[in-house]
Chains A and B, each alone.
Chain A
């Protein structure tokens, strides 16, 4: 029974908020029973237990993370950490978005090739799969060596992480039309081209969007990982490296950066989801597959 997406906005947001509140309670609860002492000007609470991961070093207080986001990124700077991270996230997102578009295009192209040529599929699919078993941290420095420490390398790394889910999903998607529909087209003597555009492509869209949602988050991971060896100073990757090296004197800054990465991933995912809703509206339950 298809639910209309318009009516469903409030509930997920409410659910999310309740869950976030729950997470907060568990987080601070752990620190309350097993963390480091809680101090205010006048008051000290010594937690009775000792839970190793609840220390201020490994699990900073939520309000310290929020406080770090609101504080200036550097002494004397007008920019807060939140603004700095928002800028870095936007920069990383643009790299990821180019990689995502290239990767999606390559993925669709490869899938179209494989669906039409059994030979190509047999010859190339093993390489496509093999390509994904090479850890990106091993490959990233080589890409940077080949293309230089610049944005292009980062985009290539993001592309590399993006094309695979699209290829695999689109092979299934392009094969998914009802055989009777294909037969009907054949009886009309439709060309491969029009079978592709009129039957295969529309049928594959639910598969495509599922893959695109995976790729959207993967492309951000690729961009962040690539920014390290790529020597890109403006994105989230460098922020992670910096705040990681200063972790002991400011753990909340790395946590804040992780929050920024997560928000970026969710935002990109949501954007693809909106495109999906627009493209697949009227197809019923299939659009619910988030």
Chain B
């Protein structure tokens, strides 16, 4: 009798097993495919498999790649592309440096310079963002309007190599960290700023800055307004560092035929970004389809702010601005991110140049930024 009850509980456990087994077949979407090299897509044409490691979770920051995938641009180049999402625990330049890692990686230039110092052979093959999206924001009533005003304030920055535009600006004003101002490591949210635990907060123009505008001001019952904040733009301050760029391993590029793959990948990606410049609404849709759980309103804002970081691209999208590269290298050296200047082959423009040939309006000379309505909660 007692036995049968034991078996009943065994039956409950068996139920658990059965339910659990579904995970193994249903849960593969999170795992990057291990396929490498050439593979047959089944469509008849010779397709080359390649992976793109994103710098962060899917969001409009990467809309151009989602668009190129959905519009079939990669397929037209014979590339069967898998987009690998990043996230809080993914270090893209580390993933992309591994010999069996993704063929293409989106990362920020100073972080890759640092990785190169540690032995990575990642090469910048296209500088997508021509401008930095980093801001510092302060409340309007704080009187802080420039880095010179950081003196005696609590200045929030993100660590993991995201802080150098802010700290370099402060030291250019002769302010010494933790002597003249207090550097506070900020979470990847704006809670400390809203709670006024810090006087200045680091914010990406396309993300955290918008989050503040999407939040309700308890004093008014309305959303926070742009007038409530002073914004410091590091492109204007002169300590901007180059951000989103496409990287590939030199060792991978050196293999026979891979430069052609890279050129095709760049052409498709450039076309994706041109598409998003001209059809931002469609790209917001592609982004939410790509699995972003951020609100569509927030993505629309992000798309609208990403475009001006890319456009206009005076020499064509993906081409390196040598002055900006030098500025990024100089600040990296001064901040101790790297010990010595990178060699000249840390970036190359020949692949981007070849990819640009025959592309229409790849500079976006006439680009003007759009406007989007801020939505409460980014919905």
Contacts and interface: CB of A to CB of B under 8 A. Distances in A.
A107 interface: no
Interface string B1-24: 110011011001100110110111
Classify chain A: how many residues form its interface, as a range.
35 or more
Contacts of B24: 151
Given A74-B295, A248-B215, A278 B12 contact: yes
A281 B218 contact: no
Given A75-B379, A231-B89, A232-B27, A56 B12 contact: no
Which one of B6, B12, B293, B296 has the greatest number of beta carbons of chain A within 10 Å?
B293
10 contacts: A39-B221, A91-B23, A149-B30, A150-B30, A229-B89, A233-B85, A246-B378, A279-B6, A281-B5, A282-B2
Given A95-B23, A245-B189, A233 B8 contact: no
Interface string B176-187: 000000000000
B211 interface: yes
Interface of B: 1-2, 5-6, 8-9, 12-13, 16-17, 19-20, 22-24, 27-32, 57, 85, 87-90, 188-191, 194-195, 211-212, 214-216, 218-219, 221, 288, 291, 293-298, 375-379
A241 B88 contact: yes
B5 A101 contact: no
A34 interface: no
Interface in A246-265: 246-250, 253
A103 interface: no
Interface in A93-152: 93-95, 97-98, 100-101, 141, 144, 148-151
B375 A280 contact: no
Contacts of A12: none
A102 B188 CA distance: 35
Contacts of B30: 149-151, 230-234
A248 B191 contact: yes
B20 A97 contact: yes
A56 B222 CA distance: 13
B8 A73 contact: no
Given A228-B89, A239-B293, A278-B5, A101 B31 contact: no
A205 interface: yes
Contacts of A98: 20, 23
B85 A247 contact: no
Given A150-B31, A228-B89, A282-B2, A248 B16 contact: no
A244 interface: yes
B279 to A, nearest CB: 17
A33 to B, nearest CB: 15
A139 to B, nearest CB: 13
Given A98-B20, A249-B378, 6 more contacts: A228-B88, A233-B30, A246-B211, A250-B377, A278-B9, A282-B2
A249 B376 contact: yes
Interface in A11-28: none
Nearest to A242: B293
A205 B2 CA distance: 12
A177 interface: no
Nearest to B210: A249
Nearest to A243: B293
Contact of B379 (A74, A144, A155): A74
Contacts of A275: 8-9, 12-13
Contacts of B22: 94
Contacts of A250: 295, 377-378
A190 interface: no
Given A56-B216, A151-B27, A151-B31, A248 B211 contact: yes
A55 interface: yes
A253 B85 CA distance: 23
Nearest to A93: B19
Contact of A148 (B31, B219, B376): B31
A19 to B, nearest CB: 28
Given A75-B375, A141-B89, A249-B377, A151 B23 contact: yes
A86 interface: no
A57 B195 contact: yes
A276 B9 contact: yes
Nearest to A38: B221
B20 A94 contact: yes
Given A149-B32, A248-B215, A281-B5, A234 B194 contact: no
A247 to B, nearest CB: 5
Contacts of A233: 29-30, 57, 85, 291
A231 B87 contact: yes
A70 to B, nearest CB: 13
A185 B17 CA distance: 34
Nearest to A253: B377
A74 B296 contact: yes
Given A244-B189, A249-B376, A74 B293 contact: yes
A181 to B, nearest CB: 14
Interface string A66-93: 0000010111100000001000000101
Given A232-B30, A239-B293, A282-B2, A57 B378 contact: no
B288 A247 contact: no
B23 A94 contact: yes
Contacts of B31: 148-151
A274 interface: yes
Contacts of B6: 202, 205, 279
A148 B194 CA distance: 37
Contacts of B190: 248
Interface in A190-223: 202, 205
